[in-house]
Amino acid sequence: MNSIQTDKKKIRLLFVCLGNICRSPAAEGIMKRIVDKNELQDIIEVDSAGTSGWHEGDLPDERMRVHGDARGYDFSSKARKFRKTDFDQFDYIIVMDDDNYNNVKSLASSSEQVKKIRMMTEFLVQNAHHKYIPDPYYGDSSGFELVLDLLEDANEGLLQAIKKKYSL
């Protein structure tokens, strides 16, 4: 069991995509399982949001939930819009593509806030040639499977980066 002093705050991760119904809730669900598997739930907290509020309050896209269920994931978070206050609440704000990056960056009010924004693909290990996590919304099931493959890979890489940075 990993230990951390109780007076230290949790490491907080926020995954961000456009609508918060496909990529970011999938990244959240995958990372929650990885955190649980590594017994780090007292140290790492995970959430997700979208740059638009179109789907606020909705469950993730049914197709993403079906593909996630097939891999044993629980994608059941409710969609919400990214807020400026998220910069104060989270240590990592992890976006899926350049549009998400630019939308989130436009809300930042300091260079410290901008430094929190990271591309999900920065953490890819096996699929490092991908420059962004594609939005599967308008595609077929192969797009959802690709996104899950990429998010599994990147989340494992992200956890390794966090473990190294915080000596976990």
Active site residue 135: yes
Q: Which residue is catalytic, options 17, 65, 86, 153?
A: 17
Contacts of 58 (CB under 8 A, 6+ apart): 21, 78, 79
How many C-beta atoms lie closer than 10 Å to residue 94's C-beta? Answer: 30
Q: Which residue is catalytic, options 23, 33, 65, 80?
A: 23
Collapse the DSSP code of 151 into the 3-class scheme (helix H, G, I; strand E, B; otherwise coil) and give the result.
Answer: helix
CA distance 57 to 77: 9
- Closest Cα to residue 79, out of 26, 25, 30? 25
Q: Which residue is catalytic, options 47, 61, 97, 135?
A: 135
Active site residue 22: no
Active site residue 71: no
Residues marked active site are found at 17, 23, 135
